[in-house]
Structure 1
Amino acid sequence: MPIWQRWILVGAITLIVGTTLIELRQKGLLEPLELVHYDWTTTITADPEPIEDVVLVTVSDEDLGEWGWPVPDSHLSQIIRNLLAAGATTVGVDIYRDVPAGAGLEDLLEVLNDPRVVVISKLPDHRGVQIDAPAGTRSGFSDIPIDPDGVGRRALLLVNTQDGISLSLPLQLAATHTGQPALKTNPDNPRILMLGDNVVKPLAKGSNLFRNVDTAGYQIIIEYKNKLPIAHSVPAAGVLAGKGLEQFEGKAVVIGITSHSVKDYFSTPLNRSTGASFTFGAEIHAAILQQLIDYFNGQLSPLASMNGLFSSLIILVSACTGACVSVFVRGAGNAVLVALVGGVFLTLGLSASQQFALLAPVVPSLLAWTFGFLFGFAIISGFSRNQRRAIAQVFSSHLSEELSAEIWQQRKNLLSGGKPKSRRLFVTALLADIEGSTRIGNSMDADDFMAWVARLLDRLGEVARDHGGFVEKYTGDGILVVFGAPIPSETQDQIKEDAQSGLRCAQAMRAAVSELNVTLSDQPRYGLRIALNSGEALGGTLGVSGSMHYNVIGATINVTARLERWIKTLAPDAEGCRPVCMTMATAEIIDAEREWPVLSSFDHDDCETEIQVIEASHLA
């Protein structure tokens, strides 16, 4: 296939594959795969150490077994007082307190009124059911949006309600911990929040990773920078007893449930690789809280996605590159290897951008690379099969496997328009003819005669292919074998090897006749005339599509035929075979220094040139 056609093919594949994947991505059909990739990248890059600024105080199954459920107000108030006294910057209570629990309500309400304390509430659900925090307390909602596949990847920071703006528990705690306002807006766009100096844009439907989810409210992506367990956990019973309180100084604290009997757990990206079946809600709040603290302090930049135009360009370039690999890399094995290695580097390279707070279209780009390669590979493979079929049609079974493979390897130089190029060659021609075939045919049954001829010609064809010769044609009761075609011999060493191979082939054919004659019983014995000649010839295909044949023609072939007929003038040996003869042209190519004994000579068709003949039946 010409280079310009290959580039047209690459362009067509790029447009078809690239635009299809861009459209599928815009419609959200690739979202599940992109979310799985986000989970994989998040897990791989997560820090194995717990977060630094947030500590969990956990109420376990053992605590509930001793205290009962819900946690008594008196216990909860004492835990909060101990944490504040220990120097905690802020305390989030991730336990609903809409109804009293045992004694100590007044004490609990008093401590909940501390500005450093935030207690959770629940936003109204689709039925209008909500859970309020105690009246007069500072509250933040605990709702965590769940994606269609049941995984929590989004954090809801604020919503507009009938009573005004409601803030989430992590946002309230992060603002208190850092001493910065929670509702600072961007001067250029009052609809966008600023946490410290960081512009934190909300998720927009149809962008980033999410195209099939409800992005109502002010949502951001949870980044999960730390592996499970996300935060350092301290048992609530120990805090209640006043043990180890020094570790809370300067920390933001979340009090939550880690009991399997109380459903407050979710699936997160971290669960896909760790084997843990869920992540407790308090841990998710801790992860969001640390993320927001880092935003406020300028230690982390919010995740952003590449704009649509640049993402589309990356997808198109990936499809183009994958197609180029299949179209331009020679050899199927090499192309597959390059495609695999390139796909790995593409995935890793684009995935690494997540570490720099940038979400690249990794999955669509990898799919574009893969399908670009596969489409190109399929088309090139089909084109190659057609070329192979054309070669098989032209050469049929006239070549050895080795010569056929070499023609295929050199097809770029040998083929044009799916068929061999016409060119001048320097060849050694061997023409072998069955002795007395016409007379024998008149005395045998037609089927028996054809089987008798075919037996010898088949064997002679095998011998020719074994010696690297090209069976140009079967001449009724003979065979024309050419050395130096269709792959041209261009050096003197190659031309000499062709002549030597022709001589060895002629002698092997003579030996094959003797072997076959031994096996004959009631059929005539074979006789053979073999002529060799070397010189220039023309090689190319003749015929129309479906019946093309590769031919070698010219004076060299004509002289070989003249020599074969001239051999009839020589006496046959005991087996009925006449001597193998070659022209002086072939003899001098075999060994230019040797003084060849001339058997005889005959005139060329031009009536001017004398063709000297060398007997070669037993030459070494």
Structure 2
Amino acid sequence: MKGIVLAAITVTTWVLGIRHFGGMQSLEVVVFDWMMRSRPDSGVDDRLLVVEINEVDIAQLQQWPPSDRVLAQLLQQLQQHQPQAIGLDLVRDRPNPPGYEELVAQLQQPNVIAVTSIGNINQRDRVAAPPSIPETQVGFNDLPIDPDGRVRRNLMFASNDETTLTSFSLQLALIYLGNQGIYEQLTEANEYQLGQKVFAKLQKNSGGYQAIDSRGYQILLNYRTSGSIARKISITQVLQGDFEPEWVRDKIVLIGATAPTLKDLFFTPYSAAEHGKQMPGVLVHAHMTSQIISAVLEEQPLLWFWSEWGEYLWILAWATGGVIVVFYIQHPLALGGSIIALLGVLIGMSYGLFTQAGWVPVATPALAFMLATTAGILNKVQLSWQQQQMVMKLLGQQTSPEIANALWNSRDRLVQSGMLPAQTLTATILFSDLKNFSTLAEKKLPEELMAWLNPYLSAMTEEVLNHNGIVNKFTGDGIMAVFGVPVARTTPEEIAQDAQNAVNCALVMGACLQQFNQKWQQQGLPEVGMRIGIFTGSVTVGSLGGKHRLEYGVIGDSVNVASRLESCEKKRQPDLCRILIARETLEYLQEDFQVESWGELILKGRANPVEVYRVIRRNS
């Protein structure tokens, strides 16, 4: 468990480092956009009306920007139907005659809001003419743009050392709310409040953000709908009176350009799903106005965030989950399915919180989770490799692929405290020895003898492995091989297969020796015979020795019997490779081999006779 915690903390620290330097922000806002688009659509806000200036209007006006008189007539026509507020999202920092005085008169109406730009914050008197327009009727229409070019924030106030400006959308909302007796104030924590609704200030690291310009007083823009935010009519329709008075009465009317050629367009969270389509600025301001009013009057929640420490714990929890799932789930398919399922849980929980106006990191904990699972899998692979090397080292010899696979599948049971625990099982033991080897050894130098012996031992070892046995030890020219270890064989069929493998291996070893003899005779060396003893019975296997030397031990009376079968009746060598077995092995051979009975023999060191048979060949 300590390792799990350490791994989770390490991954979390690394991911938080990436996040701190803004490395995750681009992914987080992409997920934010997806969740924004996937929410239930709230539809049109019927408290708003948008008077758009489209390409057809520009063609009919035959000039851009429209003259002061055209705008004065537009405002006058709208005022006749008693809107609560009118916002003119067109910068009029200089006269555009004719009709300048007419426009000034309309702009001075208390429910009209004109716009300025933050770039002119020290020259507000140039926003709209004449300068006598009250400050409370001027709002900036600049929009905060994220690093990826999208509008996700609502800048409510902007200021320098001397001046504070209110946004265009907030000015419109204040008129509407003021008509209902709702006014602005500051809380004790210096947060902005309208009525009972507190607008918590967006920080540079709120939600998925980590590196944004958070100057001024900002909140996250909670878009109302992917479609049209409000009913739209054209400036031409208004000038011609081609609209219903109810569309204007008691509404907030926003006037602005939607014509693409005027380039008052912005990317939003919906652009990715609309082939890069941009939203006109006047519609973005409409979303902002609607958000403020809905939050105050309808108790629509503003987007909220966890504290920085809350996000740290959230990310750490998912990193820990990634390590735990790898630690406890062993099967690859189950592990893969669990990883996918948990990522689905992360996305589902995050989306569920988002539907309740909570924006929590998604990409960052997902990365932490995936890195933790990857690290866990790599650690498991490395640990498995180390365990495998340990098992093979403890075993003392290479094994066949079949045995290695069985051994590895049982590694948790076999490996305890760096040793193979002792276990008693039924196995077949094979001893082989070369006849006349001592005579040959006397005539060769040790170096020559080693060069002669190694190819022979290598070939015999390969045959043992091919028959699913292990070579337990070499005794000079002698070999001790075991069939049925280290994983216990539990059924009679399995034990019989081990016995048959041992006898088949002995026959192949004899054929292999014949090939070596032909080669040695060409080198002027004498012919060498082989004796093999095979016995099937109970043995105890496990690690023998201490920390300085360990070997895979196979002990028991069955080992002694196999060794005595190899060495008994040495003068009786009817063929090149003499293979002797006892009845205990013959019972498992199922008449697959032709044998010759040698009767009951007293083997060295044993009081009771053993029924001995010589294997001649395998029955075809």
TM-score normalised by the chain length of structure 1: 0.85
The aligned counterpart of 1:281 is 281
Equivalent positions of 1:239-388 (< 5 A) are 239-245=238-244, 248-249=247-248, 251-276=251-276, 278-298=278-298, 300-331=300-331, 334-388=334-388
In structure 1, C-alpha distance between the alignment counterparts of 2:46 and 2:450, rounded to whole Å? 94
User: Is the Cα–Cα contact under 8 Å of residues 73 and 101 in structure 1 kept in the other structure?
Assistant: yes
AA aligned opposite 1:153: R
In structure 1, C-alpha distance between the alignment counterparts of 2:17 and 2:514, rounded to whole Å? 74
Matched, 1:105 2:100: yes
How far apart are 1:320 and its partner, in Å?
0.9
The aligned counterpart of 2:63 is 68
In structure 2, C-alpha distance between the alignment counterparts of 1:23 and 1:455, rounded to whole Å? 58
Q: Select the residue among 8, 24, 31 that pairs with 1:14.
A: 8
AA aligned opposite 1:102: P
Equivalenced residue count is 608
How far apart are 1:321 and its partner, in Å?
0.7
The aligned counterpart of 1:415 is 415
The aligned counterpart of 1:474 is 474
Range 527-536 or range 388-397, more displaced:
388-397
How far apart are 1:46 and its partner, in Å?
7.2
DSSP-derived class of the 2:570 partner:
helix
User: Is the Cα–Cα contact under 8 Å of residues 158 and 166 in structure 2 kept in the other structure?
Assistant: yes
Task: Flag the 1:532–1:109 CA change in 2: closer, same or farther, 3 A.
Answer: same
Give deviations 1:54-100, integer Å, cap 9, x for gaps. Answer: 34322234544543222212222333344444665532210012322
DSSP-derived class of the 1:294 partner:
helix
AA aligned opposite 2:539: A
The aligned counterpart of 2:490 is 490
Task: Flag the 1:131–1:486 CA change in 2: closer, same or farther, 3 A.
Answer: farther
In structure 1, C-alpha distance between the alignment counterparts of 2:507 and 2:161, rounded to whole Å? 106
The alignment's C-alpha RMSD in Å is 3.7
Task: Flag the 1:615–1:130 CA change in 2: closer, same or farther, 3 A.
Answer: farther
User: Is the Cα–Cα contact under 8 Å of residues 152 and 221 in structure 2 kept in the other structure?
Assistant: yes
User: Is the Cα–Cα contact under 8 Å of residues 565 and 603 in structure 2 kept in the other structure?
Assistant: no
Task: Flag the 1:542–1:126 CA change in 2: closer, same or farther, 3 A.
Answer: farther
In structure 1, C-alpha distance between the alignment counterparts of 2:204 and 2:32, rounded to whole Å? 17
DSSP-derived class of the 1:358 partner:
coil
Range 93-102 or range 395-404, more displaced:
395-404
How far apart are 1:197 and its partner, in Å?
4.5
Give deviations 1:566-595, integer Å, cap 9, x for gaps. Answer: 15242323xx222x2212232345569x9x
Range 24-33 or range 279-288, more displaced:
24-33
The aligned counterpart of 1:237 is 236
Range 281-290 or range 253-262, more displaced:
253-262
Matched, 1:136 2:98: no
AA aligned opposite 2:10: I
User: Is the Cα–Cα contact under 8 Å of residues 42 and 224 in structure 2 kept in the other structure?
Assistant: no
The aligned counterpart of 1:555 is 557
User: Is the Cα–Cα contact under 8 Å of residues 228 and 270 in structure 1 kept in the other structure?
Assistant: no
Range 28-37 or range 72-81, more displaced:
28-37
In structure 1, C-alpha distance between the alignment counterparts of 2:384 and 2:362, rounded to whole Å? 32
In structure 1, C-alpha distance between the alignment counterparts of 2:224 and 2:518, rounded to whole Å? 86
In structure 1, C-alpha distance between the alignment counterparts of 2:471 and 2:494, rounded to whole Å? 18
In structure 2, C-alpha distance between the alignment counterparts of 1:419 and 1:129, rounded to whole Å? 84
User: Is the Cα–Cα contact under 8 Å of residues 305 and 358 in structure 1 kept in the other structure?
Assistant: yes
Percent identity over the alignment is 26
In structure 2, C-alpha distance between the alignment counterparts of 1:384 and 1:45, rounded to whole Å? 46
Task: Flag the 1:378–1:129 CA change in 2: closer, same or farther, 3 A.
Answer: farther
The aligned counterpart of 2:393 is 393
TM-score normalised by the chain length of structure 2: 0.85
User: Is the Cα–Cα contact under 8 Å of residues 87 and 253 in structure 2 kept in the other structure?
Assistant: yes
The aligned counterpart of 1:224 is 223
Task: Flag the 1:246–1:219 CA change in 2: closer, same or farther, 3 A.
Answer: same
In structure 1, C-alpha distance between the alignment counterparts of 2:180 and 2:18, rounded to whole Å? 42
Task: Flag the 1:231–1:422 CA change in 2: closer, same or farther, 3 A.
Answer: farther
How far apart are 1:11 and its partner, in Å?
1.3
List gaps (5 residues or longer) in structure 1. 1-6
Task: Flag the 1:597–1:212 CA change in 2: closer, same or farther, 3 A.
Answer: closer
How far apart are 1:482 and its partner, in Å?
0.7
DSSP-derived class of the 1:616 partner:
strand
Give deviations 1:199-244, integer Å, cap 9, x for gaps. Answer: 3222245544444444343321112242366555433233333334
The aligned counterpart of 2:168 is 169
How far apart are 1:10 and its partner, in Å?
0.1
AA aligned opposite 2:536: S
Q: Select the residue among 529, 536, 539 that pairs with 1:537.
A: 539
Task: Flag the 1:227–1:525 CA change in 2: closer, same or farther, 3 A.
Answer: farther
Task: Flag the 1:541–1:149 CA change in 2: closer, same or farther, 3 A.
Answer: same
How far apart are 1:554 and its partner, in Å?
3.1
In structure 2, C-alpha distance between the alignment counterparts of 1:534 and 1:360, rounded to whole Å? 67
User: Is the Cα–Cα contact under 8 Å of residues 483 and 499 in structure 1 kept in the other structure?
Assistant: yes
AA aligned opposite 1:538: T
